[in-house]
A and B are shown apart, each in its own frame.
Chain A
Amino acid sequence: MSSELLNYKDISISYGEKKVLSHFDLDIKQGDRILLKGRSGAGKSTLLKMPMGFAHQTSGNLYFNNSLLDSNTVWDARKRIAYVSQDLDIYEGSVDEFIEEVFSYSFNEGKLDRTKLRRLLVYLGFEKDVLDMNFEELSGGEKQRIGIIMSVLIGKDIYLLDEITSSLDAALKEKVANYFLERKEWTLVIISHDDVWEKENVKVVPVGV
């Protein structure tokens, strides 16, 4: 068998009468950088939700590590894959409370490295002490960056990034994109309209032409 991490095979998705995707195929190997492009409503976000079990195909199969993704294997997928959604709405409690909660899950226990956390916060452009702030006070982009930092601390190596640079300023866009693109061992699937992602070794895949 090949070393495919994620394998979308002949995926079709419809909601009621509405066809969103038909016969979509995509192989993703370790270390791949893939940029999904397509008009709004083409089904890009849906494709990234599937490995998390948050969206399901109408027909076709999705494989993770060469086994069919179903209600048993999805739990392993969630441990290895980071999915940073375009609308990360965590609006109750402070950032630090949420971090404490996430690192109390048995899978994440002992992974909270506070020094690394502070370094990442500074690197990703947080100036004020964001840990004591409530999520209500943060912008969408700030929430996403917190999300990225948590995934990094957990040690995930497959990143599904849904429009994570869309609301950042130019300098930060560049910084965030470089942070991911520099880590060659990571596997990235990116949805973005920003050209900071269109670098060497990034393969553009059209969705729903």
Chain B
Amino acid sequence: MEIYDISYLSLVACFLLLVIPVFVSQYLKLGIIQDTVVSVSRMVVQLAFVGVFLTVLFDLNNSIVNLLWLLVMLIMATHTTISDVGLDLKKLLVPTIFSFIIGNFLVLLYFNMFVVNLENLFDARFLIPIFGMFLGNSLRGNIISISSFYDAIKRNENRYLYSLSLGAKKHEAILPYARKSLDLALKPSIANMSTIGIVALPGMMTGQIIAGSSPILAIKYQMAIMVGIYVSTVMTVAIGIFMTIRSSFDEYGILKQDVFKSTNA
């Protein structure tokens, strides 16, 4: 099948379309021209950088380099999780990294081995984009579950202590909160699967079809990816919560206050 390339000239033609939002903004005094320019420029620079970077990475296609790049992605994801939820980086670094590695990397290996049947499990063309999709989704899941968990346990401090005083073991007192936050984190992924194809064609599938794949092949990939994303998200989020819990409660079963970034003092 023929691949329809986009020439740089046609890309310019595409950017010409941006004249429309500029006019809309001008006419309705929305004041979004500056924001639009900044956002579009950022997008161009970032994607150009990624494009060049991935080209080099794909040409090189060295397993070690590919794995190192995954490591960089992992560290970025971990950093984003922890700084987003306002917790102390040092305390939760190891458990969070661990959750991303187990949750994403194991599923990825299984995926490349048994689903895509790759000869080289660390082939850049599969390893990096698929890992990116897994990581992006489990990152969102981890942020929701960890932040809602620590929020809830802080908000319900009295209730939590009261459970302990009524004979709850540590895990019995913690579990109701962990359960709720896992539920919260997984709901979007579940909803995503049940509406896919009806509400919107997923980006990956659209991309494949435009690039020349048959819709059936694109759908098969999409199904596989969705399952992979869901499984890796469930694993990451579950491991993430239970690993951070291990290092954030003391032996009396009480939440260590230094888990939170100190805002006072």
B27 is an interface residue with CB less than 8 A from chain A: no
Contact in complex: B158, A105 (CB < 8 Å): no
A106 to B172, CA, bound (A): 8
Contact in complex: A101, B158 (CB < 8 Å): no
Contact in complex: B167, A88 (CB < 8 Å): no
On chain B, the residues within 8 Å of A54 by CB distance are: 161, 165, 254
| Contacts of B166-182 to chain A: CB distance below 8 A | 166-169, 172, 176
B122 smallest CB distance to A (angstroms): 45
| Contacts of A48-107 to chain B: CB distance below 8 A | 52-54, 71-72, 74-75, 78-79, 81-83, 85, 87-92, 101-102, 104-107
B: number of interface residues (CB 8 Å): 19
A147 to B158, CA, bound (A): 12
On chain B, the residues within 8 Å of A104 by CB distance are: 172
B111 smallest CB distance to A (angstroms): 38
| Contacts of A137-174 to chain B: CB distance below 8 A | 147, 150-151, 154
B163 is an interface residue with CB less than 8 A from chain A: yes
On chain A, the residues within 8 Å of B162 by CB distance are: 85, 88, 90, 147
B91 smallest CB distance to A (angstroms): 19
| Contacts of B200-215 to chain A: CB distance below 8 A | none
A103 smallest CB distance to B (angstroms): 9
Contact in complex: A105, B176 (CB < 8 Å): no
- Looking at B161, B162, B164, B166, the one whose CB has the most chain A CB atoms below 10 A away is B166
| Contacts of A18-62 to chain B: CB distance below 8 A | 52-54
B172 smallest CB distance to A (angstroms): 5
A: number of interface residues (CB 8 Å): 30
On chain B, the residues within 8 Å of A90 by CB distance are: 156, 158-159, 162
On chain B, the residues within 8 Å of A82 by CB distance are: 165
A14 is an interface residue with CB less than 8 A from chain B: no
On chain A, the residues within 8 Å of B172 by CB distance are: 104-106
Given known A-B contacts A71-B250, A71-B251, A71-B252, A154 and B159 have beta carbons under 8 A apart: no
Interchain CB contact (< 8 A) of A108 among B165, B166, B176, B253: B166
Contact in complex: B252, A108 (CB < 8 Å): no
Contact in complex: A106, B169 (CB < 8 Å): yes
Given known A-B contacts A53-B252, A71-B250, A90-B159, A107 and B169 have beta carbons under 8 A apart: yes
Interchain CB contact (< 8 A) of A105 among B161, B168, B251: B168
Contact in complex: A53, B254 (CB < 8 Å): yes
Contact in complex: A105, B167 (CB < 8 Å): yes
Interchain CB contact (< 8 A) of A78 among B167, B176, B251: B167
Given known A-B contacts A71-B251, A101-B176, A107-B169, A78 and B158 have beta carbons under 8 A apart: no
Contact in complex: B252, A107 (CB < 8 Å): no
Contact in complex: A88, B158 (CB < 8 Å): yes
> Looking across the interface, which residue of chain B has its beta carbon closest to that of A80?
B167
On chain B, the residues within 8 Å of A105 by CB distance are: 163, 166-169, 172
Interchain CB contact (< 8 A) of B156 among A52, A53, A92, A150: A92
Contact in complex: B159, A92 (CB < 8 Å): yes
A54 to B173, CA, bound (A): 15
A4 smallest CB distance to B (angstroms): 21
A52 to B169, CA, bound (A): 13
* 3 residue pairs, one from A and one from B, having the closest CB atoms: A71-B251, A89-B158, A53-B252
Interface residues of B (CB under 8 A from A): 156, 158-159, 161-169, 172, 176, 250-254
Complex A-B: 25 CB contacts under 8 Å = A52-B165, A74-B252, A78-B165, A78-B166, A83-B165, A85-B158, A85-B162, A87-B158, A89-B158, A90-B158, A90-B159, A90-B162, A92-B156, A92-B159, A101-B176, A102-B163, A102-B166, A105-B167, A106-B169, A107-B167, A107-B168, A107-B169, A147-B162, A150-B166, A154-B167
